[in-house]
Amino acid sequence: MNIINPHRFDRLPDAILFDTDNTLYPYDPAHTAAQQAVKNKVVNRFSIRPQDFDFAFDEARRQVKARLKNTASSHSRLLYLQKMLEIMGLGSQVLLALDFEQTYWRSFLSHAILFEGVKELLDDLRILGIPTAIVTDLTAKIQFRKVVYFGLDHYFDYIVTSEEAGFDKPHAAPFQIALEKMKPKGACVWMIGDNPINDIQGAREKINAVTLQKIHQGTEVGTGLAIPDGFFQEFGQLRKFISRLGETR
């Protein structure tokens, strides 16, 4: 556990917000496995070269994101796959797009594993009476599925997706809606996430949150305006830190 701004940690928080993807579990292994499963299915179905799939999918993703920008639907795997089929000259092919999307998410969830100590930390927070909420990008349906798959649906008090908020982080809306739901008793709110811009800088600038960054392979500590107030590698480290803060109140 590394504390950069110790004056920000003089007490336990009144509420804690959590990012989901790449914060509660490592995103890349699950995504890589899921993307490969879809790729294999498409390549075999249409007898195309793997590089042809890569080109069509990457171009589809680029076009969808360019059109929808920082909204929940800009992350839609279904829209990427629909556009990919269109780029391949096959039309929308609704049934195939749905089938490929289901392949992606089945494989994704089967390869997604919570970081060690997440549930134990959430148990600690419940005992301390600290309310918690998820603030996450992407559409509500798939993020709800992830929460249920991980068995976290009874651990968090609230969830806010960018579909509900109308904007991805670091826009103020997701953070503000979470606070409206939680109604914390004080102004000390922590944000725990991996992304230095969306989670750390966004939460500090939009709601003056105390920020903690989850660091692991593939993530780097934010710098400049995106530097966190503290960062940690293991949730067990955060549990010990919160326990020590609790002893002082």
157 is catalytic: no
Q: Within 13 A of 201's CA, how many CA atoms are on the CB side?
A: 13
Catalytic entry in 10, 14, 19, 123: 19
Q: How far apart are CA 56 and CA 87, in angstroms?
A: 6
Angstrom CA distances, 237 to 3, 114, 136, 217, stand at: 12, 16, 23, 17
Catalytic entry in 21, 124, 137, 194: 21
Q: How far apart are CA 24 and CA 28, in angstroms?
A: 12
Burial of residue 66 (CB within 10 Å: 0-12, 13-18, 19+) is exposed
| Cβ–Cβ < 8 Å for 122, 134 | no
19 is catalytic: yes
| Cβ–Cβ < 8 Å for 121, 190 | no
Angstrom CA distances, 176 to 50, 75, 77, 162, 202, stand at: 43, 22, 27, 12, 11
Q: How far apart are CA 179 and CA 53, in angstroms?
A: 42
Catalytic residue numbers read: 19, 21
